[in-house]
Structure 1
Amino acid sequence: MKVNACAILAATIASGLKPHIFEDKLQERAWCKLRLAQALRTFGNRGYDEEIAGHVKARDAIETECFWANPWGLHFKLIQLEDLLLVHFEGKILQAGKYLLNTAAFLIHSKIHAARPDIICAAHSHSLYGKAFSALGKPLDMISQDSYTFYNDHAVYTDYRGINHSLLVASDMIEAAVWFYISLEKACQVQLLADAAGKKVKISSEQAAETGSKVGNKTAGWFSGQMEFAFLESEEQNSFVYLKE
């Protein structure tokens, strides 16, 4: 049975589950900050933290030439929305907390957000399997559903002057960016295991494209990602409440 992205979206809306609708830009900003802090705690809970390394950023809904950044020196699991920093693409910190800005993170994310106005969230961390796979300097083989998600939609950055050091994912929704990072990390893990086990069986380009169009579109990414946030809210017994000033 074939299920396309339109069918997934229709079923999602019919069930009452759909992306958040905002009353105004202030509410959208508050939601974005909450989601970003939740995304970072989700990364921490999954073990994607590595001391001061790693960063997830989200474009501001009001000051669109700025992004919210996780603070440098605070563990992912501890980050709350009030800890986030608001940073302009040129490097000026417009809203700061008691922690510093990761300079390396600014250099990466400012370029992404400036070059791609459609990007809302970009996530990079030194997760174990992504870090190990990036050392191989090659793209994923199409051997699992996780890898099909990234069919013709991922690349290896070979012009980096430092050392290979894991994954970077970007999307126009925070939930989708989180899920695609999780999925890419799993795809790296599967391929490392398969490479160690022996000869792999790859699927055809046609099959990869068909499956990738279903599991790799942004609606599917949001749908899967929102489950991560729902689980976190259940564990923390806390959910989004917006109070106008």
Structure 2
Amino acid sequence: MSGIQTETLNMTSNTKQESPEKAAKTPLQLISQGVCLPGIPRHPTFTAQRQWILEQMALAFRVFARKDYTDGMAGHISVRDPENPHTFWTNPLAVHFGVLKASDMILVNYEGMPIGGNMRRPANAAGFLIHSAVHKARPDVDAACHTHSPHGMAWSAFGRPLEMLTQDAAYLYGDAQAVYQDFGGVVLTEEEGNRIGAALGAKGKGMVLQNHGLFTVGSTVSEACFLMTLMERACQCQLLAEAAAANGLQKVFIPEESAKYTFENSSDPETLYWEGQPDLEFEAYICKGEHRN
């Protein structure tokens, strides 16, 4: 993939010479048996970093299309611009996720004005109101995703957080998961967008929007995209477990300590970046690089 092919990344190997007691390993080092996966790519110029981000964004949309998260004009991804962090890139309204390219994305400012990129189409007004509120409130968030995925919408009808039923669900342990229960219809006011942004909280990574869908954030497109796919699958598993429990089977929850341990050793930005890469690299392979245009 472009970020991996074009960057020369430094990796530390001195931990191999230290005893396990002295060497505190990162989650990425813990999951890598042998040579550790490299860190998140960083490009030498804003132009190069921006192009890479937009390519990742196009691939994330194609992942969502392949996994059937499309729903008319609904759904959006936003990514903070690396040079001008008070602006962000988002997708054009009414273009299918499966055909989006880097050049299709629109740059908007916090006032909602398109100021760069693809000026031939409008952005999604509801998407702008939600994403601008999140980017303003959370400087640590560079990427945010919202979809109307099937199982996400079904689980959202309960207005409840996902339970710690599976290892994957534990990636959203504790404050990493939020629920927005004040559904006010299609988001067309700044107040509604701000309420959604506030509901995510200071540490939220994923949120169930009651009667609406799912919302995820991350420090990279890859992280936010992966968390969306993880959350959608967790909703599917939760619904299946609820159906089985309704017929008399008892759910077994992950112990608090185990869920916390899983979260702390799996849900950091570098690990979650790499969790998303297999899907993004597969999309780059099947579209033969079309996403870069």
Which is higher, the Rg of structure 1 or of structure 2? 2
Aligned counterpart, 1:222: 273
Aligned counterpart, 2:78: 57
Find the aligned partners of 1:5 and 1:55 in 2 and give their Cα distance: 35
CA contact (8 A) 2:131 2:144 kept: yes
Find the aligned partners of 1:216 and 1:79 in 2 and give their Cα distance: 28
Tell me, what secondary structure is at the counterpart of 1:20?
coil
Deviation sequence 1:104-156 (CA, Å, 0-9, x none): 00000010111111111000000000110011011111110121111111011
Q: How does 1:106-121 map to 2 (within 5 A)?
A: 106-121=128-143
Q: Can you give the 5+ residue segments of structure 2 that lack an aligned partner in the other structure?
A: 1-23, 186-209
**What displacement does 1:160 show?**
3.2
CA contact (8 A) 1:5 1:220 kept: no
Partner AA of 1:229 in structure 2: L
Aligned counterpart, 1:171: 218
Find the aligned partners of 1:241 and 1:77 in 2 and give their Cα distance: 13
Find the aligned partners of 1:16 and 1:134 in 2 and give their Cα distance: 35
Percent identical residues:
33
* Aligned mate of 2:157, from 111, 128, 135: 135
Aligned counterpart, 1:99: 121
Aligned counterpart, 2:193: none
Partner AA of 2:161 in structure 1: P
Tell me, what secondary structure is at the counterpart of 1:215?
coil
CA contact (8 A) 1:74 1:99 kept: no
Once the two structures are overlaid, the 10-residue window that deviates more, 90-99 or 22-31, is 90-99
- TM-score normalised to structure 1 length: 0.91
Once the two structures are overlaid, the 10-residue window that deviates more, 113-122 or 4-13, is 4-13
Tell me, what secondary structure is at the counterpart of 1:137?
coil
- TM-score normalised to structure 2 length: 0.76
Q: Can you give the 5+ residue segments of structure 1 that lack an aligned partner in the other structure?
A: none
CA contact (8 A) 1:9 1:219 kept: no
State yes or no: 1:190 paired with 2:237: yes
Find the aligned partners of 1:202 and 1:123 in 2 and give their Cα distance: 28
